Amino acid sequence: MAMAAADIEALIRAALPDAEVEIVALVDDGDHYKAKVTSAAFAGKPRVAQHKMVYDALGGRMGGALHALQLSTAVPN
């Protein structure tokens, strides 16, 4: 079961409305992506908490519809 990049972006934006989201397919299989998410909601939070916020936004799809997500997070300048 694959997941489209647009669907990943929509889920993240629904949870983090101010987020800038960049999704890049690492392999053309719908299962392996790289994502950069920038959001003010990450301010003051450690990287692990930031990543958890993104994974929570995906609603349990990691390991199922979405096999791999290379994730980087940032706070806007």
pLDDT recorded at residue 62:
85
State how far the Cα of 19 lies from the Cα of 32, in Å rounded to an integer.
21
Provide the greatest CA pair distance for the chain.
Answer: 37
**Nearest one of 37, 59, 60, 63 to 50, comparing CA atoms:** 37
pLDDT recorded at residue 28:
84
Spans of the chain below 70 pLDDT: 1
List the structure tokens of 71. Answer: 């994730």
Q: Does domain 5-74 have CATH number 3.40.50.1700?
A: no
